[in-house]
Chain A
Amino acid sequence: MNASLPDTHSSQHSRALCFAWLLALLCVVVLLAGLCVGSTGVEPLWRLLADPIAAQIIWDIRAPRTLGALLAGALLGLAGAIAQGLFRNPLADPFLLGSASGASAAVALALAGFGISPLVTQWLLRLGLTAAAFTGAVLAVFLTLSLARGVQHTLRLLLAGVVVGVVLGAFTSFLSLTHPDILQAMQAFMLGSTGFVGWSACAIMGLVWLACSAAGRGLSKALDGLALGEATAQSLGLPLRPLRTALIATLALATGTAVAQTGLIAFVGLAAPHLVRALVKTSHAWLLPLASLMGAALLSLADLLARGLLAPQELPVGVLTALLGGGYLMWLMHRRGPTHD
């Protein structure tokens, strides 16, 4: 980042470590603040814990949704960093391979379907929406892969992702137009919400995040190689095909899980890796966990504001992630001036 300093490996390392601690600290602060902010505005925790209903609200609603926001943000940040590394494109985001449109198409289909058969059992309904979103996201990625005829060609993958996104998006719009009763629910899904994230959702996201982070750690060398260009990566002896497949699988799993639990939260996946890169220049081994932490901080902060600003009303969290992340990124760009590359 700073060309005048000697960019030695160890100074990079310590800088990244320091940055990671700062972000982790921010996440903890937001987590604690998240327990105090709710439908009644900001209240101190000890006063809340004295009231049994409030205590129950904190334990059953606020704690899981705050943790859920952190985890979903971490998944999206990680997925964004993987996507940008894999496609060597700074505009890549986790939804690039069609997972967002796939998830929303599946949710629209499920919502429209529930209207038809009221006999759907409770657990099926619950599994229904999150499982539908996850399945839709994963299926859309498969569709993209089959359209792109494999994982080798970056451009073909990107194009196929765009096509799948457009087609499934049109399908979703059509469904919501013919079933107007699902319009509002769909809109809520598209803007994302952590309102109904419970402990089980947190457990799922936590496990997936651990798995994806481990995978990311293993694949970070490959991402570093890919950053030098595909030809170079190949000449370095990297087995590109299995590596790309593994990266796309990790990307799809992380994105699908986050989308299924919290809806389409915009911009976290795109902005988090950029924010990290703007502050520290580092290899993917550090970028991936840092992007995770940045995504977590960004989304949980946005969620805090979404709950607090108009309490007891709630703002769509996606709007706030875009405002926060976008605003900060623009400030960074402005501060650096036009000469920075």
Chain B
Amino acid sequence: MRARDLNERWLTVSTQRDTLKVNAVTHAAPRLKRLATLLLLALLSLAAHTTYAQYSVVDDRGIANHWSKPPERVVTLLPSLTETVCALGECARLVGVDRYSNWPTSVMALPELGGGMDPNIEAIIALAPDVIFTAQSSRGAQKLEELGLKVVALEPKSHADAKRVLDKIAQTLGLNPERAQQLWLATEQAVAATARTLPASTQTLRVYIEVNRAPFGAGPTSFIGETLTRLGAQNILPTSLGPFPRVNPEFVVRAQPSVIMISKRDLPEMLLRPGWAAIQAIKENRVCAFAPAEQDVLVRPGPRLAEAATLMATCLKRFAP
């Protein structure tokens, strides 16, 4: 209720301002003369910068937002979206990020605006952003919109999503679409080049990627699983189980992966699981343990895809026969 009040008041104010502008320009009433001059000056200076026509962007929820000029103040509430903005070379436009964004390190100096589940609405409003990039699953989008802010909700999950998100963000920021295309092309080429450095025997590797200790594995349809497929190795999890299935631990023992990829923090516990000592990869120590920063690169569906591919390729190369 209060939010609506605020919203309506806000709208009233802006309508008044518009009326004012119209009065000033068309009638040029004497008492508004000075204001009119100021406004005209402001408009002229704006015109010098803006060669853009009004444009709109439809986000993953199907909601369209309109801009008359590219947003200057940008807030991101998902690490992969932060990374995408920066990869497009527009890091300077960021005025605030969520608490989990940590790359590039420069964003750590920005105001921290809570997480996707608990965005700090007040802090976001205080920054007066022109656009907020957030996950579709994140809460708070509706609230932020009620308060008059423009929210673009994007949900990157797969390689294809990452490309689409890159395009959408470039479009929202008013960048030349070629920039996004070039960036994606370069990423694709880098992944392909990495894949070419691997020996043909990589195809014989059967890999188990554990993303969490429940244990949740990464299936072929997950972002990280797609990268593995691009590198030519096999995933022990079938596609039918979905992106991140929680598997019965004995499934992994039965599947006998030849390489295991896991985070460094979960490795010691994994080695002690009942029955897992019989897994060939563990017996022969064919396990790659990734540090937290590397793990971020691997699991975030963002522009560091090529880097993720390199990390995984380095691991596969060690164990390819």
Please determine whether chains A and B interact with each other in the same assembly: yes
User: How far, in angstroms, from A178 to B118 measured CA to CA in the complex?
Assistant: 10
B249 — which chain A residues lie within 8 A by C-beta? Answer: 61, 195-196
CB of B248 closer than 8 Å to a CB of A:
yes
A314 — which chain B residues lie within 8 A by C-beta? Answer: 246-248
CB of A129 closer than 8 Å to a CB of B:
yes
Q: Which residue of A lies closest to B278 (CB)?
A: A56
CB of A177 closer than 8 Å to a CB of B:
yes
CB of B292 closer than 8 Å to a CB of A:
yes
1/0 per position for B245-258, CB-CB distance to A under 8 A? 11111110110100
Could you say which of B120-128, B174-182, B208-216, B226-234 contacts chain A? B208-216
The reply to whether A198 and B274 contact each other, CB–CB distance below 8 Å, is yes
The reply to whether B254 and A180 contact each other, CB–CB distance below 8 Å, is no
User: How far, in angstroms, from A312 to B215 measured CA to CA in the complex?
Assistant: 12
The reply to whether A118 and B265 contact each other, CB–CB distance below 8 Å, is yes
User: How far, in angstroms, from A40 to B247 measured CA to CA in the complex?
Assistant: 11
The reply to whether B268 and A125 contact each other, CB–CB distance below 8 Å, is yes
CB of B264 closer than 8 Å to a CB of A:
yes
1/0 per position for B198-217, CB-CB distance to A under 8 A? 00000000000001111110
User: How far, in angstroms, from A121 to B267 measured CA to CA in the complex?
Assistant: 11
The bracket for how many chain A residues form the interface is 35 or more
Contact of A61 with B212 at beta-carbon distance under 8 Å, contacts A177-B117, A314-B246 already known? no
B148 — which chain A residues lie within 8 A by C-beta? Answer: none
Main secondary structure of the interface of A (DSSP, over half): helix
* Min distance, Cβ A59 to any Cβ of chain B, angstroms: 8
The reply to whether A312 and B247 contact each other, CB–CB distance below 8 Å, is yes
The reply to whether B250 and A38 contact each other, CB–CB distance below 8 Å, is yes
CB of B275 closer than 8 Å to a CB of A:
yes
The reply to whether A126 and B269 contact each other, CB–CB distance below 8 Å, is yes
The reply to whether A185 and B254 contact each other, CB–CB distance below 8 Å, is no
The reply to whether B254 and A184 contact each other, CB–CB distance below 8 Å, is no
User: How far, in angstroms, from A313 to B246 measured CA to CA in the complex?
Assistant: 6
The reply to whether B274 and A38 contact each other, CB–CB distance below 8 Å, is no
Q: Which residue of B lies closest to A114 (CB)?
A: B265
**Residue from A65, A125, A184, A312 in contact with B216 in the complex, judged by beta carbons closer than 8 Å:** A184
**Residue from A56, A114, A125 in contact with B275 in the complex, judged by beta carbons closer than 8 Å:** A56
The bracket for how many chain B residues form the interface is 20 to 34
CB of B272 closer than 8 Å to a CB of A:
yes
CB of B71 closer than 8 Å to a CB of A:
no
The reply to whether A313 and B269 contact each other, CB–CB distance below 8 Å, is no
Interface residues of B in 109-164 (CB under 8 A from A): 115, 117-118
CB of B67 closer than 8 Å to a CB of A:
no
Interface residues of A in 172-191 (CB under 8 A from B): 177-178, 180-181, 184-185, 187-188
**Residue from B212, B248, B264, B278 in contact with A184 in the complex, judged by beta carbons closer than 8 Å:** B212
B271 — which chain A residues lie within 8 A by C-beta? Answer: 122
The reply to whether A122 and B214 contact each other, CB–CB distance below 8 Å, is no
A311 — which chain B residues lie within 8 A by C-beta? Answer: 248, 251
CB of B241 closer than 8 Å to a CB of A:
yes
Q: Which residue of A lies closest to B116 (CB)?
A: A180
**Residue from A57, A115, A178, A188 in contact with B265 in the complex, judged by beta carbons closer than 8 Å:** A115
The reply to whether A39 and B248 contact each other, CB–CB distance below 8 Å, is yes
CB of A307 closer than 8 Å to a CB of B:
yes
A129 — which chain B residues lie within 8 A by C-beta? Answer: 269
CB of A54 closer than 8 Å to a CB of B:
yes
A198 — which chain B residues lie within 8 A by C-beta? Answer: 273-274
CB of B73 closer than 8 Å to a CB of A:
no
User: How far, in angstroms, from A196 to B269 measured CA to CA in the complex?
Assistant: 10
Give the one of B247, B249, B250, B264 with max A CB within 10 A.
B250
The reply to whether B214 and A193 contact each other, CB–CB distance below 8 Å, is yes
B215 — which chain A residues lie within 8 A by C-beta? Answer: 195
**Residue from A118, A185, A193, A196 in contact with B212 in the complex, judged by beta carbons closer than 8 Å:** A185
Q: Which residue of A lies closest to B248 (CB)?
A: A39
* Min distance, Cβ B34 to any Cβ of chain A, angstroms: 52
CB of B100 closer than 8 Å to a CB of A:
yes
The reply to whether A313 and B241 contact each other, CB–CB distance below 8 Å, is yes
User: How far, in angstroms, from A177 to B256 measured CA to CA in the complex?
Assistant: 35
Contact of A178 with B99 at beta-carbon distance under 8 Å, contacts A38-B250, A61-B249, A312-B247 already known? yes
Query: 18 interchain pairs (CB within 8 A)?
Result: A53-B256, A57-B253, A61-B253, A61-B274, A122-B272, A125-B269, A126-B268, A126-B269, A177-B117, A180-B100, A185-B214, A195-B248, A195-B249, A197-B274, A311-B248, A311-B251, A313-B247, A314-B247
Known: A39-B251, A118-B264, A181-B265. 5 other contacts (CB 8 A): A60-B278, A118-B265, A188-B212, A193-B214, A312-B251
Task: Identify the 9 closest CB pairs spanning chains A and B, nearest first.
Answer: A60-B275, A198-B274, A39-B251, A188-B214, A312-B251, A61-B275, A39-B248, A184-B212, A122-B268
